[in-house]
Amino acid sequence: MEIFSSKSNHYLFTSESVGEGHPDKLCDQISDAILDACLELDPDAHVACETFATTNFVLIGGEISFRKNAKQNIKFIKKNAEKIARQVAKEIGYTSADYGLDCKKFKFMNRLHAQSADINQGVVGAGLAEFKGQQGAGDQGMMFGFACNETPALMPAPVYYAHKILLAASSLRKSGKINWLRPDAKSQVTIEYEGNKPLRIDTVVVSHQHDPEISYNEIKKTIIEQIIKPVLEPTGLLDENTKYHINPTGNFVIGGPDGDAGLTGRKIIVDTYGGMGRHGGGAFSGKDPSKVDRSAAYMARYIAKNIVAADLADRAEVQLAYAIGVPFPVSIMVETFGTEKVSISKIEAAVKSVFDCTPAGISETLNLRRPIYKPTASYGHFGRSEFPWEQTDKVDALKAAVRG
């Protein structure tokens, strides 16, 4: 058996996805549903909501604040948080304890409280005198965005196709076409590369929760023939040597929070680029756009995608970095891995002239202060055209700036 090394020009690269019913993704979706409810009440709401789930139990906690109608809005969220959490679980399909959680019967605890005044004063521009009146970053940190020309969405192929498999499985489960599927699921795709070019799909792994009476052979055949192949055959990357590992333990009946505890923000690589491209470490879900962990990561993706769409490079990675309370990035970096068509210095200069990377500018450019976040919390935050940071509307501006 030939062994491929990532240090050579010929190698294997693997990425995973998890479905909306994965315990961590349940928590991400509840946190983002709470965020959306806050933004519905006040576009200037500041939210950092975390969710924890285990057997028959869901806890939410964190910080929220409102600029307008603060007491009324906080009272509304505290009153409705449980209803929101139960609705999210119901929409995912957690309607029975047999599936890992019963949306009607789980125990619920709410520990949301007001945001720290020290953090808030920097965000709203009431901190140090030199930044008065200017929206500062909600925290320090560095964020990365990535794009490449491997797929139509300008996403890395392994994570893109891993998401597609689980999206297809979810559709078939919810439509009743495969009625023995349960909500919890994971996938993994390994692709053989030559340089930056995907050559073939080497291995596909799918672990999907199921009803107990279904035979393993039926599970394996159905997942391969009705889910995996319809998604991956159009890519032209499957071949007779592609390996399939379906429910490798042989049984996946116990799932959801009953099978494994869930926590907001624990699937950051699934949420981004599947490990292809760096990650600053900050999670997204439950955070309003004043938190640059989220908004700057979206902006970095927006910039990187427009660089590749403009054919300035085949691959692009953008790093943005911030200091808490400071209303502009402390650094902007562009890496193109030797695929650039013009000099990196020209690309970086064009990026700085075309994109407003201040926290306020990001929110304005991408129209982030609105309730759009719950749909981001499963199947990846990137590579899906419905999100504003996936637009390629700055291609002409970048080309013009590069020409000078």
- Residue 8 or residue 78, greater confidence: 78
Distance (Å, whole) CA 178 – CA 236:
26
129: pLDDT strictly greater than 80: no
The pLDDT, as a whole number, for residue 3 is 39
The yes-or-no answer on residue 287 being catalytic is yes
Q: Could you tell me the CA-to-CA distances from 310 to 140, 307, 319, 355 in Å, in that order?
A: 30, 5, 19, 14
DSSP codes of every residue in 289-317? TTSHHHHHHHHHHHHHHHHHHTTSBSEEE
Q: Give me the catalytic one of 208, 266, 294, 301.
A: 266
Q: Is it the case that residue 97 has pLDDT exceeding 50?
A: yes
Q: pLDDT value at position 133?
A: 60
pLDDT band of residue 122 (cuts 50, 70, 90) is: low
Instruction: Let me know the angle formed at the C-alpha of 38 by 297 and 74, rounded to the nearest 5 degrees.
Output: 135
**Are the CB atoms for 25 and 381 separated by under 8 Å?**
no
Q: What pLDDT, on the 0 to 100 scale, is given for residue 130?
A: 59
Alpha-carbon distance of 355 to 350, in angstroms, equals 8
Catalytic status, residue 186: yes
Catalytic residue of the set 163, 267, 374, 381: 267
If you write DSSP's letter for every residue of 11-78 in order, what string do you get? EEEEEEEE-TTSHHHHHHHHHHHHHHHHHHH-TT-EEEEEEEEETTEEEEEEEEE-SSSHHHHHHHHH
Q: Is 102 a known active-site residue?
A: no
Task: Let me know if 63 is a catalytic residue.
Answer: yes
> What is the pLDDT confidence band of residue 135, given thresholds at 50, 70 and 90?
confident
Selecting among 86, 173, 291, 394, the annotated active-site residue is 291
Confidence of residue 404 (pLDDT cuts 50, 70, 90): confident
Provide the pLDDT for residue 2. 40
- Report which secondary-structure segment, H or E, holds 88: helix 70-92
Q: Worst-scoring range by mean pLDDT, 110-124, 194-208, 235-249?
A: 110-124
CA–CA gap between residue 132 and residue 135 (Å, rounded): 8
Catalytic residue selected from 70, 126, 168, 261: 261
pLDDT for the residue numbered 120: 57
Confirm if 333 and 307 have CB atoms less than 8 A apart: no
**Catalytic residue chosen out of the listed positions 44, 57, 63, 200:** 63
Pick the catalytic residue from 22, 208, 294, 301. 22
Better-scored residue on pLDDT, 31 or 132: 31
Residue 1 reports pLDDT greater than 50: no
Instruction: Give me the catalytic one of 16, 20, 24, 36.
Output: 24
Amino acid present at 152: P
Instruction: Extract the tokens encoding 206.
Output: 């799918």
Q: How does the average pLDDT of the chain come out, rounded?
A: 94
Q: Which helix (H) or strand (E) holds 207?
A: strand 197-210
- The total of other beta-carbon atoms located within 10 Å of residue 6's CB is 9
Tell me the C-alpha to C-alpha distance, in Å, between residue 297 and each of 28, 187, 371: 17, 24, 18
Mean pLDDT, range 83-110, rounded to an integer:
98
State the pLDDT at residue 266: 97
How far from 170 is each of 93, 181, 231, 234, CA to CA, in Å? 10, 9, 13, 19
Residue carrying the six token digits 């030199």: 130
Catalytic residue among 16, 20, 42, 50: 50
Annotated catalytic residue, options 52, 66, 252, 387: 252
- Is residue 108 annotated as part of the catalytic site, yes or no? no
pLDDT at res. 6: 45
Is 279 one of the catalytic residues? no
Average pLDDT over residues 238-256: 97
Helices marked H in 147-278: 157-175, 216-222, 229-232, 256-259, 268-271
25 an active-site residue? Answer: yes
The mean per-residue pLDDT over the stretch 315-320 comes to 98
Check whether 118 has a pLDDT greater than 80: no
What pLDDT does residue 232 have? 98
Please say if 243 is a catalytic residue: no
**Helix spans in 287-404 (H):** 292-309, 344-354, 359-366, 395-403
The answer to whether residue 309 scores a pLDDT higher than 70 is yes
Average pLDDT over residues 330-343: 97
Instruction: To the nearest 10°, report the CA torsion of 153, 154, 159, 163.
Output: -10
Q: What is the mean pLDDT of residues 97-102?
A: 97
Is residue 293 among the annotated active site residues? yes
pLDDT (0 to 100) of residue 5: 42
- Residue 4 has what pLDDT? 40
pLDDT at 107 over 60: yes
Q: What is the mean pLDDT of residues 299-304?
A: 98
Taking the C-alpha atoms of residue 208 and residue 246, their distance in angstroms, rounded to an integer, is 8
Over 90: is that where the pLDDT of 238 sits? yes
Spot the catalytic one: 192, 293, 314, 340.
293
Q: Is the pLDDT of residue 310 over 80?
A: yes
> What length is written for the chain?
404
Range in 48-57, 323-332, 391-400 the model is least confident about: 323-332
